Amino acid sequence: MGGSYRKVELARMEADVAYFQARLELIGEPSTANQNAQRKAFKHLYKKLSSQVAVEKQVHAKAFSVEGLFDG
């Protein structure tokens, strides 16, 4: 896929991570079973997506590294 597509997808993933983080902050310490379930779900989604964003940024950084310019 093209570079601009990857940038858009990365931006979307970063926005989702920010959303999950905000939801976790809003829930705070859960006082109901529903809030506890939401907290668990958002925490899982936050961790999973954050790690995917980190991997994607690493891949993206390598694609534009100076080292690759001099390979034959």
pLDDT for 60 equals: 74
CB atoms within 10 A of CB 53: 16
Closest CA to 30 of 45, 42, 44, 16: 42
Residue 42 to residue 46: CA distance in whole angstroms: 6
- Residues 11-70 pLDDT 10s: 999 999 999 999 999 999 999 999 999 999 999 999 999 999 999 888 877 766 555 556
Whole-model pTM: value is 0.75
